[in-house]
Structure 1
Amino acid sequence: MELKGEDWPTYLRDNHRVGATSESLGLPLSARWSIAAPTIPRSAWPGPDGRTMEGHRLRDRNTYDDAFHVAVVKGRLYFGSSVDDQMRCIDLETGKLLWTFLTEGPIRLAPTVFQERVYFGADDGLVYCVGAADGQLIWKLRPGSVDERLIGRDEMVSRW
């Protein structure tokens, strides 16, 4: 059985962040392809390194970037990496890498795909717009007033 799903163009599917769809899955599911990331995602902030408080192990406070967050539109999967600073586009039918776009900092959150464009931010302090079909830069914008960098996770990142 071949299933095609609704588009999921941004984090949790839409601007209301509902994180759900009205579609039903036909079971059983099976994997047609897989992607091996170069390494696991790298969180922006270091965790408590096994420390405890009152006998309880402290957990990470910020875990929003502990996975590669995706967007899916028109048979293509888009996701950024906090490991190698690249936005990727994958063909959902074949699992083939269609294009990558390199930034100067980690990409921690899901892109938004709208009208054949992919929008995303990176830890280099820039917001990017690239073509959904080819990953070519359309524009980039620095929302902060100046390019100020600091050390975060042993690399230079924007303070914005």
Structure 2
Amino acid sequence: MNPISILIVDDSEDDRYILIRQLRQTQIPISEIFECTEGVSALNFFVNYKENMAKYPDAYPPNFIFLDINMPLMDGFEFLTEFKKLKADCNFDPIVIMFSSSERQEDLDRVKVHPVVKAYIVKGRYDVAQLKNQLKPFLGAHFNS
């Protein structure tokens, strides 16, 4: 399997640290883990497509985005709306996994209108095996075994 790259968009440094540690424990080959602290910087990460392709030729664009909902400046849903417009103009199709502390039905329902979102993980309610199981179905669709 070719290594994957991941973008984590979350304003919590602790949550990013824990997720990175757990992603590495899955033993799925990962070439790069990028981090953004909120939606605006994550959008800019994609706006700078050509620069990042040159800077990270084997890891950009990321294959997966772990996206928090509650963030300052631009929340996860606002990011998804803007990302949809941007994605239409560029040649990338990452899999988005919502990564939030929210268990509200309203948020679960709002995710359903965004086809790019393939999974929803509640922070603190999963372990490494469950994280790996969330990623596994998408690895074969995008990578050679």
Give the TM-score normalised by the residue count of structure 2.
0.28
**TM-score scaled by structure 1?**
0.26
Point out the structure with the larger strand share: 1
User: Quick one: higher RCO (CA 8 Å, sep 6+), 1 or 2?
Assistant: 2
**Structure with the higher helix share, 1 or 2:** 2
